[in-house]
Amino acid sequence: MATQRKKRLSRTEKNDALLEQAAAVALPSVADVVVVGGGASGLTAAITAAETLQDTGSPGTVIVFEQALTCGRTILATGGGRCNFANTDLRPEYYRHPNFVRSVTDGTYLKDILSFFRECGLAWVTEEEGRLYPVTRQAASVRSVLLARTRKAKVICACARRIIDIQKDSEKLSIIWEDLFGAQKHHTLVARTVILAGGGASASTFARKLGLATVPERPGLCALTCLPEIPVQLDGKRAHARALLTRDGHLEASETGEILFRRFGVSGIMVFNMSRSALPGDTFTLDLLSEVDHDSLQAAITAQTIDGVLDPDLAEFAAPQSSVPAKIAAAQALTLTVTGVAPSVPAQVTLGGLSVKDFDRHLEACSCPGLFACGETLDIDAPCGGFNLAWAWKSGMVAGASAARRLL
């Protein structure tokens, strides 16, 4: 019997099918826990809240609102599609507001993340600098196991629904949301607890009405534009460098690693990490010869060529048409002025967000009992290496457990 080939769906057909699925999810008018955002932190929070309630014998209604057609989409893009989901060294010092991170993570940071993923059925490997990846090296595996556990925990995933307002009156929180499929645009639902997990740039939407302070948001872990312009022959070239970032003569950050030159400016993990501190007008001073010892530099001068210690195009950029000693001196202190964030490379995190001063170590808003926040919505960020997702998972767990405890 001839096997029938399954028809490949076009993107529009896939989206239509997802919209139909989303529209078929019926929502109650009252929920025990409403999670704003079905990303890394929101899914973890919802799972933890639902499981905590089930463990105590009083299962509740936990709903994740996600404006996209499916939950966990950001996870797919992480770690270049491989998802560097945590790090073996999760010291709070790596984070903005380390004392707050220490109080929330409570000495069980990595252990809790690994137990959580073990229970999800995920296996992992440790690569260079303690970076943890799923053993499949596929971000889709992380998302898949999370979605499976979400279903098992009977969390309602309300996709294609954007929360546009949260109103607080006396004991209750009213959630106003709009859908991407129906005729009736605005709907209301009463929530006994709410967890804000909408990621970067979502905080300011609700903060003012809820009386929460925010720290201005801006892109972080991103490529930077700079002056002088990078010549075309350097586009795509990499170099190992020691870099200092200074503002008005004061050191703001320093880092050693690989820098990637692009037509628009500079990129690479080292630049991403320094972008957390960089502002337009700051100066990058690069030592492109930090790995080359004194004797090797002398040998290059004697040989009258720099080609053995540095890419000739980089040397020419540092000191055009100069002698070898002049090129060496310039390459040891190449200065670039930061002009902004490169729009062509997506930033990996949003700096700023809800001020941590308004939240306790259970991630509950001090001025609004029943309101919690987790993940990138809060003013917490860290360098590349699995630290940001680690915070998303762990803060999600803490917020989810705290919301469930409040209900109990």
Ligand X SMILES: Cc1cc2nc3c(=O)[nH]c(=O)nc-3n(C[C@H](O)[C@H](O)[C@H](O)COP(=O)(O)OP(=O)(O)OC[C@H]3O[C@@H](n4cnc5c(N)ncnc54)[C@H](O)[C@@H]3O)c2cc1C
Write a three-state SS string for 51-79: HHHHHCCCCCCEEEEECCCCCCHHHHHHH
Shortest spacing between CB 191 and ligand X, in angstroms = 13
Comparing CA positions, the residue from 149, 147, 155, 196 lying closest to residue 60 is: 155
Residue 375 or 400: the one with the smaller Cβ distance to ligand X is 375
Nearer Cβ to ligand X, position 204 or 339? 204
Q: Which of 196, 129, 144 shows the shortest CA–CA distance to 374?
A: 196
Nearer to ligand X, 42 or 370 (CB): 42
Q: Could you tell me the smallest distance in angstroms from the CB atom of residue 347 to ligand X? A: 7
Q: Which of residues 218 and 247 has its CB atom nearest to ligand X in the complex?
A: 218
Give whichever of 272 and 317 is closer to ligand X, judged by the CB atom. Answer: 272
State the Cα–Cα distance between residues 241 and 267, nearest whole angstrom.
12
Alpha-carbon Rg for the chain in angstroms: 25
Beta strands at 238-247 and 283-287: parallel, antiparallel or unpaired = antiparallel
Query: Is 199 or 370 the residue whose CB approaches ligand X more closely?
Result: 199
Least CB distance to ligand X at residue 381 (A)? 8
Instruction: Tell me how far, at minimum, the Cβ of 133 lies from ligand X, in Å.
Output: 9
CA distance 209 to 211: 5
Q: Say if residue 73 is exposed, middle or buried (CB neighbours under 10 Å; 0-12, 13-18, 19+).
A: middle
Q: How far is the CB of 162 from ligand X (least distance, A)?
A: 4
Residue 172: CB minimum distance to ligand X, A? 19
355 near 363, Cβ under 8 Å?
A: no
Positions in the binding site for ligand X (CB under 6 A): 36-42, 65-68, 73-74, 77-79, 83-84, 162-163, 197-199, 202, 346, 348-349, 375-377, 386-389, 392
C-beta of 2: minimal distance to ligand X in Å? 42
Copy the structure tokens of residue 46: 């919802």
How far apart are CB 350 and ligand X at their closest, in Å? 8
Q: What is the largest CA-CA distance in the chain?
A: 80
Phi and psi torsions of 63, nearest 5°: -120, 130
Closest CA to 142 of 51, 44, 269: 44
Residue closer to ligand X (CB basis): 64 or 286: 64
- Residue 63 and residue 4: Cα distance in Å, rounded? 39
Question: Toward ligand X, which CB reaches closer, 386 or 400?
Answer: 386
Query: Alpha-carbon distance 140 to 159, whole Å?
Result: 18
